[in-house]
Amino acid sequence: MLKRGKLWQPVSVLLFFCVAPVRAEWVEWLSDSRLSARFDDNINTSLFSAQALDDYVWSGFLSAGRAYQLEKYTRVYLNAIFSGDLHHRFELLDQYTLGGSATLTHKFGLGWEAPVISLSASAEPVFSASALRSGEKVLSSVRLSKWLHHDVLHAHIVYRFDQRDGPDLTHPEHPELATIPGSVFDIQGHTVEAQLNLSVSERWLFNVSYGWRWGDITSNNLLNSVSGSVLGRVDAIHKDDALPGWVYRAYGTTQTYDVGLSYSFWQGHALSSLSYRHVDTDALGMGYDSNQVRLSLNYTY
């Protein structure tokens, strides 16, 4: 896994190419904010339904930055970003991040039917009430979007790479686990996602999406609930400092299904939405799923 000094490299490279052109023209200031409430019926991503824990999570997001025009159809967006989560039951899962992002967009010609490609990268330190979950994370993506029918049907497909760097820990109280690393939140993965957005009316928007992720997953389970043969196949394990049980890291695949409905107001600057997500993960010859319902309010300036 890449460690702390290298985590910023993807964003540094993209920032260099974004700000290097001397003809870049400042276009406008940008800001985006979001408040949301979410219910998750398997907040600990347990492999066993009897051990699954539910919780309510309140989240906030704020970004501010500038847009620059590079060429006629090319823009760069540079933003400072802040996000935070507060949990109702499990307060040690609370965390916040503070970092930056860069996005390069290019539209392939004039007209509503011209596709748009976006290259993005972000890097954020993670400050968590759980020492196990503190660290740093980076995210990079390539997104291709297109209107399929003017002002009615819009689609996009995204490839995303995510990486998180957590602390390296040992098991002083469990010498039998000495050969298994304790870096459970040193994770990385790849995601391909497709989404369709349908404008039901001038203000109402319906969306549906499907995502497939492969790479590292984490799961919280009681130590004695996992067989020795399964334990020998995990990549890392450590006692959880925020939830009952232990955190396991292993290779897995995750399918995500989303459906949502949103309503825009304040001349399109504000958006309220209600969405449902089903997550289905397979790992270690087993699997877990979770159901999430989210209510959110967005404001963009």
Tell me the pTM. Answer: 0.89
| H or E segment to which residue 32 belongs | strand 25-40
| Tokens matching residue 233 | 């196949």
Q: Count the alpha carbons within 13 Å of 95 in the hemisphere toward its beta carbon.
A: 17
Percent pLDDT > 70 in the chain is: 91
Residues in the chain: 301
CB contact set of 22 (below 8 Å; sequence gap of 6+): none
CA distance to 24, 37, 122, 212, per residue, from 269 (Å): 26, 20, 24, 31
Cα separation, 187 vs 161, whole angstroms = 11
Cα separation, 83 vs 60, whole angstroms = 5
pLDDT of residue 270 exceeding 90, the answer is yes
Amino acid letter at 157?
I
| Tokens matching residue 106 | 């290019």
Q: For residue range 97-143, what is the model confidence (pLDDT) as tens digits?
A: 999 999 999 999 988 889 999 999 999 999 999 999 999 999 999 99
Cα separation, 219 vs 234, whole angstroms = 11
At which residue do the structure tokens 């400042």 appear? 26
Domains of the chain, each with CATH number or no CATH = 4-300 (2.40.160.40)
Which residues in 242-276 are b (16+ Cβ under 10 Å) and which e?
Answer: bbebbbbbbebebebebebebebeeeeeebebebe
Cα separation, 36 vs 244, whole angstroms = 26
CB 137 within 8 A of CB 101: no
At which residue do the structure tokens 């049907």 appear? 153
| Tokens matching residue 165 | 């760097």
CB 184 within 8 A of CB 237: yes
Per-residue model confidence (pLDDT) at position 248: 93
Per-residue model confidence (pLDDT) at position 13: 47
Per-residue model confidence (pLDDT) at position 179: 81
- DSSP E strands: which ranges in the chain? 25-40, 55-71, 74-87, 95-107, 116-128, 135-149, 153-165, 187-199, 204-221, 236-239, 246-265, 270-283, 286-300
Cα separation, 72 vs 50, whole angstroms = 57
Q: For residue range 200-225, what is the model confidence (pLDDT) as tens digits?
A: 999 999 999 999 999 999 999 988 88
